[in-house]
Each structure stands twice: as structure tokens, then as C-alpha cells.
Amino acid sequence: MEGFVTVVGAGLAGSECALQLARRGVCVRLVEQRPERRSPAHHTDGFAELVCSNSLKSTRPETAAGLLKHELDRMGCELLPIARAAAVPAGGALAVDREAFSREVTRRVEAHPLIEVVRAEATSIPEGPSVIAAGPLCSDALFAAVAKAVGGESMSFFDAAAPIVDAESVDRSVAFAQSRYEEGRGGDYLNCPLDRAEYDAFMEALLGAERVIARDFEQADLFCACQPVEEVARTGHDSLRFGALKPVGLTDPRTGRRPWAAVQLRAETADAAAYNLVGFQTNLTWPEQRRVFRMIPGLAEAEFLRYGVMHRNSFVDAPRALDATFKIPGTSARLAGQITGTEGYVEAVASGLLAALNTYAELIEAPTVALPRTGALGSLVAWATDPATTDYQPMHVNYGIVPPLENPPRRKAEKRAALAERARRDLDAYLAGRPELFPAPRA
């Protein structure tokens, strides 16, 4: 095939997009700014780095996250099988050893004969067909160029990442291994139980702790799904006990009873050498994280391998700024990943895959992709590109944006199963009519 496509950003969306184009015989120039320039959330020079949690969410087929994974598999996703090969135990979720995952994605991309990797910052929209997948922490110069091209319709919000502790520093005489509702069967999580007095003291310390951005953050447009733990705590004394620290389904083997509250730790690496504090995205200063989080029973001697951080994230007002394929009207540039305002690791991968399919469709002069609205990805795309969507804010896949069933079952579980089944059927039918988008892999 003549020419090449420039993909900016070797994150989740850009890596998937580059691999998808290359397997269709398209030459790709993949421009990645690291190591020359690194966002505050990226810590490595590897591709597809997971910047916060290591969870790719539920694998249960009836959930929206599980359905999205099915859809990606059905469309030949490149990164999902790599994630599965790098999985760490996480109950009904797909969580990965982030280093193993990133290492393999980097290897595959760098080894592909049709992908040229350029390690440099892109400061303008590339000439010719391109996919800009520079993420929510896109460099300032490029984001300014994108904002200008879309007519200034850009926005931002605050986001936060959770700390990671060294497994050996967790006191196992206090923290116990258990997945919720699975007492006696070992378990994928380490749980740090708090009694009432410990919870009260922890809450007091958390609320009084020094934050990196205080006043600004209070007025900030917070993204609810990733709120800092101290912000959640500020909404009520019991809010954490009914949220990230909920003790339901857990039994402390030392007491034989459910604790008053529990902090869950999830393995970061396949060898469980490091754990993250689930739901503990935070904006506390690093010394305060050390002081306050060490009050959690079992973490008194915790060694922090990485502290939690908070960042401003940027995205464009896609419903007004982009066409139905996330293309900037009047240009040959398409956006992919979280810069479009869709949110989530797997959503970013999906968006990269879709950008590749649409770019490829244009190259072979085929119609662009219009996924069924009943699907996890199709409904997200429809929501993100429909000019009727107002007050556009980052969104994960979810059943709230899927058209309702004609005769929905009364029970929630059955309703979800029926929604997933309808989505799978509709996607199969759509893909059966688009064989030209899925030629046998090349090179």
C-alpha cells in the first residue's frame, strides 16, 4: 500500500492502532515523545504503560466491561491477548503485571517490519493521514494545535493515581488474603481490617492531611469514577466504609467477624511483589501519604514503591468538535484514546482499534465503520460523537447509554445478560457484512 499513516502516541490507543494498521499491510510511523519528554503520570519509556491501576476491569460476560472485551476479541484486538498473557490474579477482573504487559507490547510494535518508531515529541498535527492518540496528558504544544484545529472546543478535568507498596513490607499477621465472599479459599486480595476506633482515627487524619493542590482542587471539575480518596472522605464520615473500604464479604480470620472497614490491596505484579491500595487515588503530599496510609493496620511499616499523584487531564469536546469517526472535520487527522473524552484503559484500546479500522477503510475507499449502537463500544462512540450529547464528560462503557430492550426481563442480572446477548448478535451481523475490513493479516 502506498504512503504511510502517522500515529502519535504509543500508549494504549496508539499501540493498538499501529499494530492493527500494520497487520493490514499499512506502513505506520509511530511518534512517541518518551524518553525525550515524559508526562507526570508516565514512569517508563515502554509502550502501553498503565499509569494508575493495573486493572482492566471485569471479565464477566454480562457486564459492560466484559462485553467490551468480547467485542474487542471479535474484532481481532492485539493488546487484549497480551494483557491476558500478563494477567495477575484479580477475582472476576483482568488485572495485569504492568511491566510484563508493556514490555511485550513494546516488543511487538518495535519488531513489526511495517512500523517505524520515532522517539520525538509531535508539536503539530502531522501531514497526511494520521491518528493522534496522545492521551489525556498530551504535551502542551500538540494539545494547543489540536484545540486550534477543533476550534478551541477542548476541556480538562482532574484525575488521580493510587500508591503502590512493597509486598514484603505488608504485615501479614494483620493483613489477610481473601477475595470478597470467598472465605476459606485463599484469595486474590490482601485485606487490611480496621475496627471502629482505627477507622475514626484514619478518617480524621485523612481529612486533616496536606494536599498538593488544595483550593484549586476543591473547585475542580472532578471525574467521579477516579475521585481522590480524601475527596470521597469529605462527602461523609461513612462514605469510605460504603465505598473503597467496604468490608462486605470479608471475614477477618483473627476475629472470625466482618471488620468495621477494610482496605484492599491488589497485586501489581505476577509474582505479587508489589500491591496497590485499591481506590486510594490521592492528592495528598508524599510525606502525608506515608504518615496517613501507614495508620492502616498492616501497613505500619509499608514501603511505598510509588506514591499516588494527581494530574490535569485534557480532552476535546468530541460531540461538537469531531465527526462520527473521531476525525477533525476538514483535516486528515483522527483522534483516538482518552483525548477524545472516552475513559478507561480498555476503552482506549478499543478506540485505537476503531481508529485503525476507520483509517484503513478510507485508504481502501470503503465506507467507514458504524458499529451497532446496542454494543458496548458502539454505544460509547454514538454517545461521544452525537452533537445532542451535552455537558460532555469522560465516560466508561456502561449500559446506561445503550438503547433499552423492547421487553426487558425484570431481574437486573437477566436484563444485563439479554443486553449482552443482543449486542453480540448485532455485532456479528455487522461484521459479517464488512469482510473487507478484516483481511488476512499481512507481514
Residues making contact with ligand FAD (CB under 6 A): 8-14, 31-34, 39, 41-42, 51-53, 121-122, 133-139, 142, 159, 161, 226, 311, 313, 337-339, 343-345, 348
Q: CB–CB of 122/142 below 8 Å?
A: yes
- What's the grid cell of residue 342? 472516552
Beta pairing partners, 32: 119
In the complex, what is the shortest distance from the CB of residue 175 to ligand FAD, in angstroms, rounded to a whole number?
Answer: 22
* CB nearer ligand FAD, residue 42 or residue 294: 42
In the complex, what is the shortest distance from the CB of residue 240 to ligand FAD, in angstroms, rounded to a whole number?
Answer: 18
Q: What is the largest CA-CA distance in the chain?
A: 69
In the complex, what is the shortest distance from the CB of residue 48 to ligand FAD, in angstroms, rounded to a whole number?
Answer: 7
* CB nearer ligand FAD, residue 20 or residue 251: 20
In the complex, what is the shortest distance from the CB of residue 315 to ligand FAD, in angstroms, rounded to a whole number?
Answer: 9
* CB nearer ligand FAD, residue 203 or residue 278: 278
* CB nearer ligand FAD, residue 306 or residue 424: 306
DSSP per-residue string spanning 89-138? --TTEEEE-HHHHHHHHHHHHHH-TTEEEEES---SPPSSSEEE---TT-
Burial of 50 (0-12, 13-18, 19+ CB in 10 A): buried
Amino acid at residue number 245: L
- What's the grid cell of residue 231? 475527596
Residue carrying C-alpha cell 442480572: 413
In the complex, what is the shortest distance from the CB of residue 127 to ligand FAD, in angstroms, rounded to a whole number?
Answer: 15
CA atoms within 13 A on the CB side of 112: 29
In the complex, what is the shortest distance from the CB of residue 311 to ligand FAD, in angstroms, rounded to a whole number?
Answer: 5
* CB nearer ligand FAD, residue 14 or residue 378: 14
In the complex, what is the shortest distance from the CB of residue 412 to ligand FAD, in angstroms, rounded to a whole number?
Answer: 23
DSSP per-residue string spanning 31-91? EE-TTTS--TT--SSSSS---S--EEEE--TTSHHHHHHHHHHHTT-SHHHHHHHTEE--T
* CB nearer ligand FAD, residue 259 or residue 319: 319
- Torsion (CA) 52, 391, 69, 333 in degrees, nearest 10: -90
Helix (H, G, I), strand (E, B) or coil at 432: helix
Which residue number has the CB closest to ligand FAD? 11
Give which of 181, 193, 160, 125 is closest to 331, Cα–Cα.
125
Q: How far is CA 6 from CA 21, 254, 354, 356, 375, in A?
A: 10, 58, 15, 11, 29
Q: Please, which residues have CB within 8 angstroms of residue 287's CB and are 6 or more apart in sequence?
A: none
* CB nearer ligand FAD, residue 34 or residue 241: 34
* CB nearer ligand FAD, residue 50 or residue 420: 50
Q: CB–CB of 317/198 below 8 Å?
A: no
Measured from the Cβ of residue 213, the count of other Cβ atoms closer than 10 Å reads 12
Helix (H, G, I), strand (E, B) or coil at 9: coil
In the complex, what is the shortest distance from the CB of residue 435 to ligand FAD, in angstroms, rounded to a whole number?
Answer: 28
* CB nearer ligand FAD, residue 292 or residue 339: 339
In the complex, what is the shortest distance from the CB of residue 350 to ligand FAD, in angstroms, rounded to a whole number?
Answer: 11
